[in-house]
């Protein structure tokens, strides 16, 4: 498989180079030259295949000969070494729980796959891989955990000061070692902008291999297709599901759309957004107008200019009408999010985190107008990561796992840094000198 930059379509690289670079030299996102078609055996036999077999079947065409099959199988096995249960909440709505990994968030999948690919590639490099990642909440924690003590790598995490939950912040800042946290005086879009500027800074990259672990990196984005297949392997309804995806930077939804084009049997996707409704507005008008992000209870989705929007356009050949045939989008308020957490807990005994609540409300509203359909949401984070929001809604806090209690007792270790590039660059240089 070859990959091209969405800015410069005539320059192709292989999986290894695309992974190590993270973002193309021209600032564009990498995109596969062709979309693989899943075999009929894989699609029809989802229930019979192991998680690792499904993962290999999906990822092998993208990886090609960049990683030998034996090593790739080990990478996939380690990536999927936890459960992905599809839990029925009510008759027509289930939740694909993606938060049973080490950092209690769906991003463990992409982060673990990426870190293990990087670790494999680092064996043949003569310079350290430095992973630069912007996070609105869960990405940074998943990346930090996945890369912690991986030989030949170091991580610099940028997160918006005061805009992540206490659990998320400890996951970003408490590991130490090869993990370095910069607390940016701004929002997620500022963090993302600084990362993009760093990738264009040739002097900064002179003596290191700088790469990204956001979903702009193909090795973070592409493996997210796997859990959609794992969800379908547990789907027992006669009709194909409607899938509601909590959406912020749109890597998750884009992976699902890619899987559908490869053969995943899905009826329709709902991009469930919070007050950051740039994609919802696009779906309604055909006009894409990025904005500043707005803080909400579902903070990991607080993105005003989603990076992966351009990949969605590419998947559908920039055809707005074609996108509308496969995807719809709604924006859910904080008030509706809180009310949904409360109602679902009161009636079903199930606790939603605020991101899942956004998806649940979006799917519930859709099904009210489509009485013969059923679907599931992506449960992207354990409710324990958002105790204040959950307690406000239901009057009790989620039970804290023992491993999380230990993490919360650890010391926060981050450097408060301006949103202006010169200040960020100075901090980054200090870190790089000691790596």
435 residues of the chain, pLDDT tens digit each: 999 999 987 779 999 999 998 888 888 999 999 999 998 888 888 999 999 999 999 999 999 999 999 999 999 999 999 999 999 999 999 999 999 999 999 999 999 999 999 999 988 888 888 999 888 777 888 899 999 988 888 999 999 999 888 888 999 899 999 999 999 999 888 998 998 899 888 888 877 888 888 788 999 999 999 999 999 999 988 899 999 999 999 999 999 999 999 999 999 999 999 999 999 999 999 999 999 989 999 988 999 999 999 999 999 999 999 999 999 999 999 999 999 999 999 999 999 999 999 999 999 999 999 999 999 999 999 999 898 999 999 999 888 888 788 888 889 999 999 999 999 999 999 998 887
Count structural domains, the chain. Answer: 1
Q: At what angle do helices 69-79 and 107-122 cross, to 10 degrees?
A: 150
The answer to whether residue 74 is domain-embedded is no
End-to-end CA distance of the chain: 33
pLDDT the model gives residue 228: 98
As a dihedral over the C-alpha atoms of residue 163, residue 169, residue 173, residue 178, rounded to 10 degrees, the angle is -90
pLDDT the model gives residue 116: 94
Do 93 and 364 contact (CB within 8 A), yes or no? Answer: yes
The answer to whether residue 329 is domain-embedded is yes
Do 248 and 136 contact (CB within 8 A), yes or no? Answer: yes
The answer to whether residue 262 is domain-embedded is yes
The answer to whether residue 282 is domain-embedded is yes
The answer to whether residue 124 is domain-embedded is no
For 19-47, letters b (16+ CB in 10 Å) and e give bbbbbbeeebbbbbeeebebeeebbeebe
DSSP calls for 220-279: HHGGGHHHHHHHHHT--SSSPPEEEEE-SSSHHHHHHHHHHHHT---SEEEEEE-S--HH
Q: Residue written as tokens 């749109």?
A: 250
Residue numbers of the domain that contains 302:
83-106+221-394
Strand partners, 12: 4
The answer to whether residue 321 is domain-embedded is yes
384: CATH: 3.40.50.1100
pLDDT the model gives residue 206: 79
Q: Which helix (H) or strand (E) holds 152?
A: none
Q: Is 68 helix (H, G, I), strand (E, B) or coil?
A: coil
The answer to whether residue 213 is domain-embedded is no
pLDDT the model gives residue 401: 81
The answer to whether residue 379 is domain-embedded is yes
pLDDT the model gives residue 135: 86
Q: Rounded to whole angstroms, how far apart are CA atoms 138 and 385?
A: 9
């Amino acid at each position: 498989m070859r990959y091209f930059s969405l800015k410069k379509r005539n320059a192709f690289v292989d999986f290894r180079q695309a992974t190590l670079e993270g973002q193309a030299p021209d600032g564009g996102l990498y995109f596969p030259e062709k979309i693989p078609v899943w075999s009929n055996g894989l699609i029809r036999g989802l229930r019979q295949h192991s998680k690792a077999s499904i993962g290999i079947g999906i990822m092998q065409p993208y990886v090609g000969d960049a990683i030998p099959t034996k090593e790739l199988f080990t990478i996939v096995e380690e990536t999927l070494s936890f459960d992905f249960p599809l839990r029925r909440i009510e008759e027509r709505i289930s939740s694909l729980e993606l938060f049973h990994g080490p950092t209690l968030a769906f991003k463990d999948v992409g982060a673990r796959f990426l870190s293990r690919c990087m670790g494999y590639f680092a064996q043949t490099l003569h310079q350290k891989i430095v992973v630069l990642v912007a996070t609105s909440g869960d990405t940074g924690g998943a990346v930090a955990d996945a890369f912690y003590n991986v030989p030949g790598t170091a991580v610099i995490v940028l997160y918006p000061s005061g805009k992540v939950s206490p659990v998320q912040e400890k996951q970003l800042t408490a590991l130490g070692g090869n993990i370095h946290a910069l607390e940016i005086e701004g929002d997620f879009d500022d963090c993302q902008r600084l990362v993009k500027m760093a990738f264009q800074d040739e002097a900064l990259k002179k003596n290191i291999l700088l790469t990204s672990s956001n979903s702009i990196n193909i090795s973070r984005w592409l493996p997210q297709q796997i859990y959609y297949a794992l969800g379908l392997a547990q789907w027992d309804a006669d009709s194909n599901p409607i899938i509601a995806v909590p959406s912020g930077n749109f890597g998750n939804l884009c992976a699902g759309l890619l899987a559908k084009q490869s053969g995943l049997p899905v009826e329709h996707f709902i991009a469930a957004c919070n007050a950051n409704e740039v994609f919802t507005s696009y779906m309604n008008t055909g006009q894409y107008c990025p904005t500043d992000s707005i803080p909400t209870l579902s903070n990991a989705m607080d993105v005003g200019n989603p990076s992966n929007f351009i990949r969605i356009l590419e998947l559908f050949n920039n055809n707005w009408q074609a996108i509308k045939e496969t995807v719809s989008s709604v924006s859910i308020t904080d008030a509706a999010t809180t009310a949904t957490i409360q109602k679902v807990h009161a009636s079903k005994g199930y606790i939603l985190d605020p991101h899942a609540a956004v998806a649940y409300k979006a799917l519930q509203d859709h099904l009210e107008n489509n009485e013969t359909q059923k679907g599931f949401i992506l449960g992207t984070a354990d409710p324990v990561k958002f105790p204040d929001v959950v307690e406000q809604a239901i009057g009790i806090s989620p039970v804290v796992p023992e491993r999380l209690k230990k993490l919360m007792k650890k010391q926060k270790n981050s450097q408060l840094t301006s949103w202006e590039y010169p200040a960020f660059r100075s901090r980054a240089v200090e870190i790089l000198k000691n790596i």
